[in-house]
Chains A and B, each alone.
Chain A
Amino acid sequence: MNGWTGRVGLLTVAGAVALLAGLAHGQDDASKVRALIRDLKDPDFDKAYGAAEQLRKYPQQRALIVAGLIDTITTRDWNRCGGDMRQTIAGALEELKAKEAVVPLLDLVKSGKSIEHECAE
Chain B
Amino acid sequence: MTPADVFAERKYEPFCGNTVLATINALADFSHSKAMADLVIAGRWKGELLVTLGKVGPPRYANFIGRYKDDPDLSVRQAVAAALGLIDNETIAVPVLIQLLSRGDKKEDFAVRWEAGSSLAKVAGRKGSEGVRRRLTDLLLERNPMTAVLAARALAAVGDARGLEKLRELTSHGDAAVRQEAVLALGEAADTGSREVLVRRLKDDSLTVRGCAIYALGRLGDPSLIPILRKAVEESSGYEEKYGLQAFDLRETLQEAITAAQKSRGR
Contact = CB atoms under 8 A, between A and B. Distances in A.
Interface of A: 86-88, 90-91, 93-94, 97-99, 101-103, 105-106, 108-110, 112, 115-117
Given A109-B44, A109-B45, A110-B44, A102 B24 contact: yes
Contacts, number: 57
B8 interface: no
Given A115-B18, A117-B17, A106 B36 contact: yes
A105 B44 contact: no
Given A98-B27, A102-B32, A106-B35, A87 B44 contact: no
Contacts of B22: 90, 94
Contacts of B224: none
B28 A102 contact: yes
B176 interface: no
Interface of B: 17-24, 26-29, 32, 35-36, 39, 42, 44-45, 49
Contact of B27 (A99, A112, A116): A99
Contacts of A99: 27, 29
A106 B32 contact: yes
15 contacts: A87-B19, A87-B20, A88-B19, A91-B19, A91-B23, A93-B23, A97-B27, A102-B24, A102-B32, A105-B20, A106-B24, A106-B39, A109-B20, A109-B49, A112-B44
A94 B18 contact: no
Tell me if B's interface is mostly helix, strand, loop or mixed. Answer: helix
A90 B28 contact: no
A110 B21 CA distance: 12
A115 B23 contact: no
Nearest to B17: A117
A87 B18 contact: yes
A91 B26 CA distance: 10
A93 to B, nearest CB: 6
Contact of A109 (B19, B24, B27, B29): B24
Contacts of B39: 106, 109-110
A64 B71 CA distance: 43
A60 to B, nearest CB: 21
